[in-house]
Amino acid sequence: MSEVLRLHWLQPYIDSLQVRFLHITRYHISEYYVMTPVRLKHCVMWYLEDSALHVEADGQTYRGQSGDLFVFPAGMTVYNRTITGPNRVISINFDGNVPLFGTGNWLELFGIPVQSRASVEVKEAFGRMLSHREESGISRRITLQGDLLHLLAGLIREGVAERSEQMKDCGDMRVRRAADYIFTRSSRIPEVQELAQIADVSESHLRKLFRQYTGLSPAHYIHYVKIEQAKRELAENDRRISEIAAGLGFAEPNYFARLFKAKTGCTPTEYRRQFRIWGAEG
């Protein structure tokens, strides 16, 4: 049996992230500066180069120092004033959206806190983006969009790892247990009832928890995982489609094919063909 790739329960959300870079600027802030509270239209990241700032975000208070990273989601009300000055701050504006998660705070979902110490990678990424901004090349925006994705990829990686630690004793551990069960027993399609037992809650409560933490019903979540696993198999090996379907727990290849088509818009064969334009490997 081929090894089926494991998926983290946050993977669907991360994969559906849409990002649009808007702007990067380095600000010099006088020591007398006091900001009027602003409700952010876009996501904002600040790297504090040389700063002592008092920051308020949705009522929470932070004390920002040189080397700190702030990440604010769109919609947050932010206020700040200089503690001692002058200050230098690099600020990035961007749009971010996780369609699968709706209008919730996706930064929080991915474990990215409002304030943290910037890693060396983050600091370097800000510097690189400032210098790319100075280049007036025609594809400047595309380069900066790529830079921003790399920066976010790092923050998400750290955030999710951190969050998995924290979540060990936390409420949606039940959802995680159920999700882990789906991922690890990839050769079966579990019943919702079975998942409820694993999570030690009633079926209706499990449905509620899944909706709350994943935005999907348990059945749709199972479908998502199965189709993702099937897509990887189709793209990355040459096994027969009926074998792949059986390996993922589908007793009926036709049911698998119908589900695949409904979720992806193309048949398994069509899907594979687009990655297989070389045909069989030599």
**Interaction site with a copy of itself (CB under 8 A):** 5, 8, 10-11, 14-15, 17, 19, 22-23, 25, 27-33, 35-36, 38, 40-42, 44, 78, 85-87, 89, 91, 93, 136-143, 145-150, 152-154, 156-157, 160, 235-236, 270, 273-275, 277-279, 281-282
- Of 59 and 279, CB closest to a copy of itself: 279
Closest approach of Cβ 133 to a copy of itself, in Å?
Answer: 10
User: 264 exposed, middle or buried (CB, 10 Å; 0-12, 13-18, 19+)?
Assistant: middle
Closest approach of Cβ 136 to a copy of itself, in Å?
Answer: 7
Distance CA 43, CA 74 (A): 4
Q: Are the C-beta atoms of 57 and 77 separated by less than 8 Å?
A: yes
Closest approach of Cβ 143 to a copy of itself, in Å?
Answer: 4
Distance CA 207, CA 13 (A): 18
DSSP element (H, E) containing 37:
none
What residue type is 265 in one-letter code?
G
Closest approach of Cβ 191 to a copy of itself, in Å?
Answer: 28
Distance CA 117, CA 17 (A): 24
- Of 118 and 201, CB closest to a copy of itself: 118
- Of 141 and 207, CB closest to a copy of itself: 141
- Of 53 and 189, CB closest to a copy of itself: 53
Residue 24's nearest CA partner among 134, 101, 105 is 134
Q: Are the C-beta atoms of 53 and 93 separated by less than 8 Å?
A: no
Distance CA 273, CA 282 (A): 16
- Of 105 and 145, CB closest to a copy of itself: 145
Closest approach of Cβ 91 to a copy of itself, in Å?
Answer: 7
Distance CA 257, CA 45 (A): 43
Distance CA 267, CA 51 (A): 56
Strands 38-39 and 77-97, sheet pairing:
antiparallel
- Of 8 and 263, CB closest to a copy of itself: 8
- Of 44 and 179, CB closest to a copy of itself: 44
Helices and strands, number each (H, E), in the chain:
11, 7
- Of 147 and 233, CB closest to a copy of itself: 147
Residue 156's nearest CA partner among 116, 127, 183, 128 is 116
Closest approach of Cβ 17 to a copy of itself, in Å?
Answer: 7
Give the position of tokens 């983290």.
8
Residue 104's nearest CA partner among 59, 78, 74 is 74
